[in-house]
Amino acid sequence: MPNAVASNPNLAEVDWKPKKEHGPDFVIIGAARSGTSSLYMYLSRYPQIMSPHKKELNFFSKYYNQGIDWYLAHFPSITDTPNFLAGEASPNYFDCTESAQRMFQFFPKVKLIVLLRNPVDRAISCYYHNFYHGREKRSLEDALALEKQRLQTLTESELLQTGYRHPNNLLGSLYVYKLKRWMEIFPREQFLIVKSEDFYSNPKIVMSTIIAFLGLSDQKFFQYPKCNGRSYTPISQDLRQMLTDFFRPHNQKLEEYLGMSFNWD
């Protein structure tokens, strides 16, 4: 896989000893099952981006008690060189109620990228991901019906305060409440919201937008292989309609909050 050093041999002459600890310049915070693995892979291939050796450090959600030095140790020190950026992708930050405040404490200027997928498709993908990994034993219909019943008892205030909990099929697709938590802490201009459908259908154009958002000069990628793709049996039209109806009011709130149109109905 191409990397910044291979693409820029002159880096071998740079003093790699860090002048200061350097954390992420950008973070892909979600949403899970929305293309974050593919986006992380594409950005990792960009010559001016240095990324950790693995996706999903999960520091601000699962491993915060390890301390900031543990987190910073995952980033290459070469990022102290001008014109290079560091970034990571941990989609469960989007769901964790504490991640935004924790991240802001250390990196208040970090840029945040959010991929938002049609909530019906994301919910189905989430179910099958958990099913294939042995975390879900119920049928698709039963799992979604029970989760829907539980979520319908929650007020908007309660949804704003609800972080990750299993199952996360429908809850993980209620984007507006997660974004509100993040945007109450970070300025709106530090976010780039990307429709997953645009990313899937025309990655070249979307990647140019993301690179511009990060303040780097555009360079052409020639291949866009997808990560973590898995096919599954199409759902019934009745189930899709039920899910579409369930998500509709939440999607409307999302569009009003962001001033964007997603056309997911």
Cα distances from 157 to residues 32, 102, 211, in angstroms, run 23, 21, 35
What spatial distance separates the first Cα and last Cα of the chain, rounded to whole Å? 39
Q: What is the pLDDT along the chain (265 residues), one digit of tens a residue?
A: 455 545 555 544 444 454 456 789 999 999 999 999 999 999 998 989 988 978 999 999 999 999 999 999 998 876 456 678 999 999 999 999 999 999 999 999 999 999 999 999 999 999 999 999 899 999 999 999 999 999 999 999 999 999 887 789 999 999 999 999 999 999 999 999 999 999 999 999 999 999 999 999 887 766 787 776 677 888 999 999 999 999 999 999 999 999 999 999 8
Q: How far is CA 100 from the centre of its chain?
A: 13
Distance CA 88, CA 223 (A): 21
Name the nearest CA neighbour of 192 among 4, 23, 25: 25
Q: What are phi and psi of 30, to 5 degrees?
A: 160, -170
Distance CA 200, CA 194 (A): 11
- To 10 degrees, what angle do helices 237-258 and 119-132 make? 120
Q: Domains in the chain, ordered, with CATH?
A: 4-258 (3.40.50.300)
- Which two three-digit tokens encode residue 172? 């993980």
